[in-house]
């Protein structure tokens, strides 16, 4: 299970809407306690691809976020990105680019009026498992 503060959930939605029609992206830092992952900090990064169908995180921003996590004693829990025009599920490209089965991949769909955020794990064979998100 992933625990995410309501303020961080709203921060992700705001960043995604601000970047429409492009996909938005970012990283999640936090703490693990058994199967419970608690997000302590959401990092809003730039999609350097500037497209509504793909994202690549700005490498400088990504490195700065990882350095900040390390200095704060946080663990990289995963990343998030938006799907402006499609459902909250990993695309074939998302599966292909999911290199770390130990982290979560959160996808925010903005295709309906009400945003939908879902979390996934993707193993080395590209099998997708939905993980529960609890908004605190």
Query: In this predicted structure, what is the pLDDT of residue 99?
Result: 84
Instruction: Catalogue the E-assigned strands of 1-74.
Output: 2-4, 25-33, 36-45
Token digits of residue 119: 């979390």
CA distance 53 to 11: 21
Query: In this predicted structure, what is the pLDDT of residue 93?
Result: 86
What domains are defined for the chain?
2-135 (3.40.140.10)
**94 has pLDDT over 90:** no
**71 has pLDDT over 90:** yes
Give the contacts of 53 (CB within 8 A, at least 6 positions apart). 23
Helix (H, G, I), strand (E, B) or coil at 39: strand
pLDDT digit string, tens, across residues 5-55? 999 999 999 999 999 999 999 999 999 999 999 999 999 999 999 988 889
Indicate the average pLDDT of the chain.
94
Block residue for tokens 């769909």: 109
CA distance 7 to 113: 19
Token digits of residue 52: 């509504």
Query: In this predicted structure, what is the pLDDT of residue 53?
Result: 87
CA distance 41 to 63: 15
CA distance 5 to 9: 6
């Amino acid at each position: 299970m992933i625990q995410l503060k309501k303020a961080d959930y709203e921060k992700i939605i705001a960043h995604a809407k601000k970047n429409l029609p492009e996909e938005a992206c970012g990283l999640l830092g936090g703490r693990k306690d058994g199967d419970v992952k608690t997000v302590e900090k959401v990092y809003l990064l730039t999609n350097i691809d500037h497209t509504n169908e793909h994202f690549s995180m700005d490498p400088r921003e990504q490195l700065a976020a990882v350095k900040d996590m390390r200095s704060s004693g946080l663990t990289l829990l995963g990343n998030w990105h938006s799907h402006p025009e499609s459902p909250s599920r990993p695309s074939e490209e998302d599966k292909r680019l999911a290199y770390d089965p130990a982290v979560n991949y959160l996808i925010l769909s903005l295709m309906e009026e009400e945003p939908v955020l879902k979390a996934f794990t993707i193993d080395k064979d590209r099998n997708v498992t939905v993980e529960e998100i609890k908004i605190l």
